[in-house]
A and B are shown apart, each in its own frame.
Chain A
Amino acid sequence: MPAPPPAAVSVRGLAKRYGPVEAVRGVSFDVAAGEIFGLLGPNGAGKTTTLECILGLRRPDAGTIALAGVDALAQPDRAKERVGAQLQDAALQDQITPRQALRLFAGFYRAPAGVDELIDRFALAARADAPFAALSSGQRRRLFLALAFVNRPQVVVLDEPTAGLDPQARRRLHQIIAGGRAAGQTVLLSTHDLGEARALCDRIGILDGGRLIAVARPADLVAGGSARPRIAVRTAPPLTAAQVAALPGVVDPRPHEDGWLLGTADASRTIAGLARLLEAGAHALVDLQIERPSLEDVYLELTGRAWAAPEPEDE
């Protein structure tokens, strides 16, 4: 059996403490070449600290980090040659233009991408010579993404790349990130957005309280969770509590919008029982919806906290 290809990102036993606060506690994970890996977690979970340690912005208290086969702690500059990054809360000088910024940053790498190519790829052509202060938040975000790709990186690290963007701008950035994967780049991103994680990531790691509590493909996370499908049903006249309780597989039935919300341990059997009840003719079906468990449910199950969705900003 051939040996698996070396991981593009390999983090082992990463730990970082700020005074009494343990921000990251023994985090370990690998990201394969060409994979998009998402770090999920609420504010304070340790996502940004983990990424900052990987990028050399903070020195970890313990652990090892290898990026594209380079020990990032022993040879940070060599590792930075191979990594592109986009940070949260970054800005440039008010007067600098996207073209100037790209030229400036490209100058520090051996084989940079072409500035015009990046301007086209990140849809900055119309504003390439506008001062940074005059760019919208979406344009700024695209500029920072372009800067992350300026060195043709093997690994791209993105910290909340679409936070605060409207849905259209977010979709555009998703296309760009997915395009990076198609070009063979490895992407490690942190996100607040479960939809983004589902849509983009090959695998997800959930961080909570500085620990990595789960790593899996999004579908496997959902399938492996103990959260149950839910069936929302409305009939005329409404089903009684006794009828609902007698349906096979039903767990925790609750009244819901003139009908019932039924948790079920076996959706097939519950729906079959419901069909038999309707066939009896005493009740007419008004509405029926089946809700599968979501990442939000998995997150709630793993962390004990409901997911808080981020607020969008204007493009």
Chain B
Amino acid sequence: MDTRLLLPAVLRYCLLTLRLNFRSRQALAYGYLMPVFFLLAFASVFRSDTPLLLPQMGQILAITILGGACFGLPTAMVAERERGVWRRYRLLPVGTGALVAGALAVRVVIIAGAVALQVLLARLIYGTPFPLHPVQAAGAFLLVTASFLGLGLLVAALADDVPAVQGLGQCLFLPMILIGGVGVPLAALPLWAQRIAGFMPGRYAVDVLQRCFNDSRGLAGAGFGLAALVVIGAAAGLAGAALLRWDAGRRLGRSGRTGLAAALGSWLAVGVAAALTGHLQPVLPYDTAYEDITEAQIAAITYDGLPGDNELVTRLAPPFPNGRAPATLAEFVYRIRDWPPGDLDDPGQSVRNLLSAAGIADLRADPREAEIARAIFDELQRRYPPGQLRRILAWIILRPDDGTALGYAPELGLPLHAPVRLVRERSVLYAQKFLGRLLGKIRDP
């Protein structure tokens, strides 16, 4: 079909579909009233947070997108298929792929309306700030929506009728709500559930959306989550497109099971990749102190993907001969024992500050950076009992954004400023290197 004819025709189809959607009371109730209900419900549950709902916006929006994509889209498509509407469309001189693309585009607009309504109402009712990174938020919304629409397309392809859509949709919706980090916050889940959540797209959807609201780094560092959403959405979307049926009478046989296996295989691949690359770290409640860290949480920390000790980032010298620092480091070792930021009443923050010193030396490429890191590790072991040090290091790894980080330490001979955000990242890497050694999971040469 001529593109000059196709585009206006598909656009007319999209506009008419939108118009019909807004004429359906059921679609309005499901698409807009339910999201408002979820917003109010979250506000009543997390009413002690300040500002209210800010830490939950990722979850709230993910639920709305999940509902619109995994229930709204397939319910509409399967209902139309059952009625014979898509059979009628097949008589048009246009590939039905163009109409499916139109149906997906319409659903993006419908979901965007619901999400915008939630963000606006949260702002008006509870004073919840708008996203810190609005452009990134728009991008994250589109990616999460596209990924979940891939799942919705697969549901539409697999479901024989509308009740089957509800059944299949619940199979996606409920696990993600309950143990996937979408409805119940990840930090409130036991460790086993947190690990399972790593195999589900909901966890990554919440993460990328939430980062746009209140993480100063935005989507920087969210590469794995973004890739996971692309992989899961693409696998489901391709399987759904291949299996989509126009005729209510046609049944899927083995091809349906193959498509489902391919889609679920992508979940498995993402989960395994997350485990292998250290993206399944336990998540702790917001107000967790280092004393609350459990041995199970410490044991769940992984050490894959850490930079080598002789690489550019986070260098670490081998243990000093006889445990004595070289002469070039004598003054540093002397100063660090009395360095006030490293000897606060709060041991957790003290360790963060000491690790910051290692991070500053690393970032400023101090010629002694590897030895400084080793000296700080020795000092930490000298100062804290092993059990306490393990907990503090694990707490820093699991709650990297807690406490404060330093940008320079002139008292230690590290006067040059380093970006605090990077110091915090390097501190966490050093904490992992030190904790791995304390637990015998990383061995010194």
The 7 lowest CB-CB distance pairs between A and B, nearest first, are A80-B93, A107-B9, A91-B83, A90-B84, A95-B23, A77-B93, A95-B20
| B80 interface hit (Cβ, 8 Å) | yes
Q: Which residues of A contact B83 (CB under 8 A)?
A: 90-93
- Chief secondary structure at chain A's binding surface: loop
Whether A90 and B12, one on each chain, are in contact in the complex, defined by CB atoms closer than 8 angstroms, is no
Whether B94 and A77, one on each chain, are in contact in the complex, defined by CB atoms closer than 8 angstroms, is yes
Task: Using known A-B contacts A93-B20, A103-B12, determine if residue A110 contacts B2 with beta carbons closer than 8 Å.
Answer: yes
CB contact list, A49-105 vs B, under 8 A: 55-57, 77-78, 80-81, 83, 85, 87, 89-96, 100, 103-105
Q: Which residues of A contact B84 (CB under 8 A)?
A: 87, 89-91
Give the docked Cα–Cα distance between A77 and B16 (Å): 23
Task: Using known A-B contacts A103-B12, A104-B16, A110-B2, determine if residue A90 contacts B93 with beta carbons closer than 8 Å.
Answer: no
| B85 interface hit (Cβ, 8 Å) | yes
Minimal beta-carbon separation of B19 from chain A (angstroms):
8
Contacting residue for B85 out of A77, A91, A100, CB 8 A: A91
Whether B85 and A93, one on each chain, are in contact in the complex, defined by CB atoms closer than 8 angstroms, is yes
Q: Which residues of B contact A147 (CB under 8 A)?
A: 88
Give the docked Cα–Cα distance between A118 and B95 (Å): 25
A110, closest chain B residue (CB): B5
Tally of contacts, chain A with chain B, CB under 8 A: 68
Minimal beta-carbon separation of A190 from chain B (angstroms):
16
Q: Other than the known A81-B93, A95-B23, A107-B8, what 11 A-B pairs have Cβ atoms closer than 8 Å?
A: A57-B90, A87-B87, A87-B88, A91-B85, A93-B85, A96-B20, A103-B12, A105-B92, A107-B13, A108-B92, A108-B94
A55, closest chain B residue (CB): B91
Query: Interface extent on A, as a size class?
Result: 20 to 34
Query: How many B residues touch A, CB cutoff 8 Å?
Result: 26
Q: Which residues of B contact A95 (CB under 8 A)?
A: 20, 23-24
Give the docked Cα–Cα distance between A95 and B28 (Å): 14
Give the docked Cα–Cα distance between A105 and B88 (Å): 10
Interface string of B399-434 (1 = CB under 8 A from A): 000000000000000000000000000000000000
Give the docked Cα–Cα distance between A105 and B6 (Å): 12
Whether B24 and A107, one on each chain, are in contact in the complex, defined by CB atoms closer than 8 angstroms, is no
Q: Which residues of B contact A90 (CB under 8 A)?
A: 83-85, 87-88
A148, closest chain B residue (CB): B91
Whether A80 and B20, one on each chain, are in contact in the complex, defined by CB atoms closer than 8 angstroms, is no
| B247 interface hit (Cβ, 8 Å) | yes
| B1 interface hit (Cβ, 8 Å) | yes
Give the docked Cα–Cα distance between A110 and B23 (Å): 30
Q: Which residues of B contact A80 (CB under 8 A)?
A: 91-93
Give the docked Cα–Cα distance between A147 and B6 (Å): 18
Q: Which residues of A contact B12 (CB under 8 A)?
A: 103-104, 107
Interface string of B70-103 (1 = CB under 8 A from A): 0000000000100111011011111100000000
Minimal beta-carbon separation of A126 from chain B (angstroms):
21
CB contact list, A194-236 vs B, under 8 A: none
Whether A77 and B9, one on each chain, are in contact in the complex, defined by CB atoms closer than 8 angstroms, is no
- Most chain B beta-carbon neighbours within 10 Å: one of A83, A93, A105: A93
Q: Which residues of A contact B85 (CB under 8 A)?
A: 90-93
Whether A56 and B2, one on each chain, are in contact in the complex, defined by CB atoms closer than 8 angstroms, is no
Whether B95 and A77, one on each chain, are in contact in the complex, defined by CB atoms closer than 8 angstroms, is yes
Minimal beta-carbon separation of A134 from chain B (angstroms):
13
Give the docked Cα–Cα distance between A80 and B80 (Å): 21
CB contact list, A106-123 vs B, under 8 A: 107-110
- Most chain A beta-carbon neighbours within 10 Å: one of B8, B24, B80, B92: B92
CB contact list, B2-38 vs A, under 8 A: 2, 5-6, 8-9, 12-13, 16, 20, 23-24
Task: Using known A-B contacts A89-B84, A93-B20, determine if residue A56 contacts B8 with beta carbons closer than 8 Å.
Answer: no
